[in-house]
Chains A and B, each alone.
Chain A
Amino acid sequence: MGFTNVESQVELIKEISGSDPYKCMKCGKCTASCPSYDEMDIKPHQFASYIIRGDIDELLESKAAFKCLACFACIERCPRDVQPGRLVDAARQLQERQRGGDYMQPEEVPELLAEDLPQQLLVSAFRRYRR
Chain B
Amino acid sequence: MKYSYYPGCTLKNKAQDLDRFARASAAALGFELVEIPEWQCCGGVYPLGTDEIATKLSSVRALNYAKEQQQDLVTLCSACHHVLKRVNDDMKNVGDIRTRANNYCGFEEPYQGETRVLHFLEVLKDVIGFDELAKKVVNPLEGRKIGAYYGCLTLRPGKILDFDDPENPKIMEDFIRALGAEPVIYSMRNECCGGYVSLKDPEFTKTRTKMIFDDSTGFGADCLITACPLCMYNLNKSEASSKVPVYYFTELLAEALGVKEEA
Contact between A and B in the complex (any CB pair below 8 Å): yes
- Which A positions have Cβ atoms within 8 angstroms of B? 15-18, 35-36, 39, 67, 69-73, 75-76, 85-86, 89-90, 93, 104, 108, 112, 116-125, 127-129
- When A17-B49, A76-B166, A90-B49 are in contact, do A124 and B79 touch as well, CB less than 8 Å? yes
Give the CA-CA distance A127 to B46 in the complex, in Å. 9
Query: Is B192's beta carbon under 8 Å from chain A?
Result: yes
Do the beta carbons of A112 and B10 come within 8 Å of each other?
no
Contacts of A36 in B (CB 8 A): 197, 204
Query: Is B183's beta carbon under 8 Å from chain A?
Result: no
Do the beta carbons of A125 and B196 come within 8 Å of each other?
yes
Contacts of B43 in A (CB 8 A): 123-124, 127
Contacts of A35 in B (CB 8 A): 191-192, 194, 208
Query: Is B39's beta carbon under 8 Å from chain A?
Result: no
User: What are 13 residue pairs bridging A and B, where the CB atoms are less than 8 Å apart in the complex?
Assistant: A16-B50, A69-B194, A73-B192, A75-B156, A104-B200, A117-B233, A118-B13, A118-B15, A119-B10, A120-B229, A124-B44, A125-B196, A125-B200
Do the beta carbons of B196 and A124 come within 8 Å of each other?
yes
Give the CA-CA distance A9 to B14 in the complex, in Å. 41
Count of CB-CB pairs between chains A and B under 8 Å: 118
B251 CB, min distance to chain A CBs, angstroms: 16
Q: Mark B155-166, 1 if CB is under 8 A from A, else 0.
A: 011100000001
Contacts of A119 in B (CB 8 A): 9-10, 13-14, 41
| Contact among A15, A71, A85, A118 for B233, CB-based, below 8 A | A118
- When A35-B191, A35-B208, A127-B45 are in contact, do A76 and B157 touch as well, CB less than 8 Å? yes
Contacts of B230 in A (CB 8 A): 118, 120-121, 124
Do the beta carbons of B196 and A128 come within 8 Å of each other?
yes
Query: Is B101's beta carbon under 8 Å from chain A?
Result: no
Contacts of B166 in A (CB 8 A): 76
Contacts of B44 in A (CB 8 A): 120-121, 123-124, 127
A34 CB, min distance to chain B CBs, angstroms: 9
Query: Is B47's beta carbon under 8 Å from chain A?
Result: yes
Contacts of B204 in A (CB 8 A): 36, 39
Q: Mark B72-94, 1 if CB is under 8 A from A, else 0.
A: 00000101000000000000000
Nearest B residue to A16 by beta-carbon distance? B49
Query: Is B139's beta carbon under 8 Å from chain A?
Result: no
Query: Is B152's beta carbon under 8 Å from chain A?
Result: yes
Nearest A residue to B152 by beta-carbon distance? A71
Give the CA-CA distance A70 to B158 in the complex, in Å. 14
- When A112-B200, A116-B14, A119-B10 are in contact, do A124 and B49 touch as well, CB less than 8 Å? no
- When A120-B77, A120-B230 are in contact, do A70 and B47 touch as well, CB less than 8 Å? no
- When A112-B199, A118-B13, A118-B15 are in contact, do A89 and B233 touch as well, CB less than 8 Å? no
B41 CB, min distance to chain A CBs, angstroms: 6
For the complex of A and B, the 10 pairs showing the least CB-CB separation, nearest first, are A124-B44, A71-B192, A72-B156, A124-B196, A71-B152, A123-B44, A18-B50, A119-B9, A89-B48, A125-B196
A67 CB, min distance to chain B CBs, angstroms: 7
Give the CA-CA distance A117 to B234 in the complex, in Å. 9
Contacts of B167 in A (CB 8 A): 76
